[in-house]
Homo-oligomer: A and B are copies of this chain.
């Protein structure tokens, strides 16, 4: 039954209520190391409704070149009932929904693993996200530990659209106030153990004049190194985009907080890594993914240096493998190693560092190699790419 309520004139009250400084509280979000309990499941707050205009905005903002995310007619001609959200948007949103529980107290985002996009997200869909604490690794009482979490996003029909693992570095609570308690009622965690990708592809004559002629499955060969020619300069837009995807970590937008930190993160707000990945991916998209039917997923993703406003980022791809796509003759699977650099062109980075650019930063110490200051990101990604139309 609808509410109908007389609205009285609001009286001024503040002056008549004494200020009692003993009644102060400061709600805390995120969790400290000792607050994470393996097996615990968090239902993340809020959820996120997708609208076509916001999906198009996201794809354009990140210079996405695959018309699947830009052109409703093109998406329909491929069998999609409507424009799908770009996987980068889905990934950024699901991760950000989890920050309030998972990582708002984290010191560092250590890596992404086993990221799998299982189903398209369309306008009108609303996602919710869940996280399960998979593991907590302590490294001594005076050191931050490492938490392995599993996060997934479901749509309004409770179908998983994305699932992944993430490692974060986080400190013990010590004598700091506890964070908002996790709900005590046990919650199911619908992780998909043997996932199946569901795509409404209608594999008849795909339109071919809205994409380039050199980015079909046949155009990639294992070992190819592709320099993506254009870079892009990060502006303060990063804060606005952080709000847009819903990431609540103050490191990304609160200069009083970021300059008050000690250590190497102290200074200007650090760009949220999900955005860095999305920018880099967009810079590569004309060259490697404009003819993709789907982003299957990523693994071994590392932000090896932080970025701040004013940095210029650029990207390179290396073809690692090609394979048939089970059950679809019209496309194949290409695996890329994907590298991001900053404040140097991609071509100069390759000229300067050569093969070392493709050695994982975490593997360098045992090999007696130096970490590269201009390298900011590395990941392996798998794409389902159309074969050249006959």
Q: Which of A256-309 contact B (CB under 8 A)?
A: 256-257, 260, 269, 286-287, 290, 296-300
Q: List 20 A-B contacts (CB under 8 A).
A: A7-B197, A10-B296, A12-B299, A13-B321, A14-B360, A15-B363, A17-B320, A19-B354, A20-B225, A23-B223, A27-B229, A29-B229, A49-B52, A61-B243, A74-B126, A100-B286, A183-B209, A183-B213, A229-B250, A233-B254
User: Count of A residues near B, CB < 8 Å?
Assistant: 143
Contact with A231, one of B124, B187, B250, B344 (Cβ below 8 angstroms): B250
Q: How far is the CB of A385 from chain B (nearest CB, A)?
A: 13
- Whose C-beta in chain B lies nearest to the C-beta of A71? B47
Q: With A3-B328, A10-B298 given, can you name 16 additional A-B contacts, CB distance below 8 Å?
A: A3-B197, A5-B197, A5-B325, A6-B197, A11-B299, A13-B320, A17-B321, A19-B225, A21-B350, A21-B354, A49-B70, A49-B83, A71-B126, A180-B214, A229-B250, A231-B257
Nearest B residue (CB) for A16: B320
Q: Is the CB of B7 within 8 A of A297?
A: yes
Q: Are A335 and B198 in contact (CB under 8 A)?
A: no
- Contacting residues, chain B, for A70 (C-beta < 8 A): 46-49
Task: Identify which of residues 1-60 in chain A touch chain B, using a CB-to-CB cut-off of 8 Å.
Answer: 1-7, 9-15, 17-21, 23-29, 43, 45-49, 51-54, 56-57, 60
| Interface segment, one of A136-144, A145-153, A234-242 | A234-242
The answer on a CB contact under 8 Å between B200 and A2 is yes
Per a CB cutoff under 8 Å, which of B45, B245, B286, B358 touches A27? B286
A110: Cβ under 8 A from any B Cβ: no
Complex Cα spacing A248 to B63, Å? 8
Residue in contact with A57 in the complex, picked from B4, B43, B54, B257, CB distance below 8 Å: B54
Determine the chain B residues whose CB is within 8 A of the CB of A190 once the complex forms: none
A60-B243, A224-B25 as given contacts; A233 in contact with B253, CB under 8 Å: yes
Q: In the complex, A369 Cα to B378 Cα: how many Å?
A: 56
- The answer on a CB contact under 8 Å between A79 and B2 is yes
User: Which chain B residues lie closer than 8 Å to A347 at the CB level?
Assistant: 26
Contacts A227-B25, A254-B230, A325-B5 given; does A47 touch B73 at CB 8 Å: yes
Asked whether any CB of chain B lies closer than 8 Å to the CB of A314, the reply is yes
- B45–A212 contact, CB under 8 A? yes
Report the 9 A-B pairs with minimum CB-CB distance, sorted nearest first.
A53-B53, A19-B355, A51-B53, A235-B236, A47-B71, A26-B227, A3-B199, A233-B255, A230-B250
Q: Is the CB of B24 within 8 A of A45?
A: no
Q: Is the CB of A1 within 8 A of B240?
A: no
Expressed in whole angstroms, the Cα–Cα distance for A95 and B62 within the complex equals: 19
Whose C-beta in chain B lies nearest to the C-beta of A194?
B6
